[in-house]
Amino acid sequence: MNYLILMLSLTLAVLNLSAQSLERFVIGSAGFSGQQEDIQLSFTVGEAVVSSFQSEEIQLKQGFQQINVEEVPTGIEWPDYIHDLIAYPNPVGATLYVDVNTSQLFEFSVEVYDLSGQQLCQPTNFTGIPGNTQHQIDLVGLVPGIYVLVITTTEGFPVKTFKIQKM
């Protein structure tokens, strides 16, 4: 009799079971999202690749490998008109100074990132004029730690990156 009750209980339990399901989602600690004309690219660091994308002009695969590329940039080349670019003091307290020595007028932007790649504030735009110019960046709102200062032209070309320690 006990065996019959046990078998009936197990049968009813199995019939009432339902599987759980989860939707795909990503929690990324760092990443980027950008759009230019008709192309939009978004990614997070550490996200597993689940699909590829291919059109007539580009093909994105695991690792974002681009095929048929004739020239691959291997480093950052300064524009010819920038002769020197320094950021000091390092370690820094409240104000960081960026000195630029250039032979022509140009616009550049300064961005501050934490070590996980998160942008901490809106880019600050500056104008470099011929000769030596000094620009100030206010870091009062940042907690002590290590940050990355990225300087790019307003066209988006990287110029120089600094590792800054905030005291």
pLDDT value, residue 147: 92
Maximum separation of any 2 CA atoms in the chain, in Å = 99
User: What average pLDDT does the structure give for the chain?
Assistant: 76
Domain boundaries of the chain, sorted by first residue = 26-72, 82-166
- Are the C-beta atoms of residues 144 and 166 closer than 8 Å to each other? yes
pTM, two decimals, is: 0.54
33 SS3 class = strand
Confidence of residue 64 (pLDDT cuts 50, 70, 90): very low
Residue 28 to residue 116: CA distance in whole angstroms: 10
Higher-confidence residue of 112 and 14: namely 112
Burial of 149 (0-12, 13-18, 19+ CB in 10 A): buried
Structure tokens at 167: 């005291």
What class, spelled out in words, does domain 82-166 have in CATH? mainly beta
Residue-wise pLDDT for 98-129, tens only, equals: 999 989 888 899 999 988 888 888 888 998 88
Task: From residue 112, give the alpha-carbon distance in Å to each of 16, 20, 47, 101.
Answer: 55, 42, 23, 21
Residue 82 to residue 151: CA distance in whole angstroms: 12
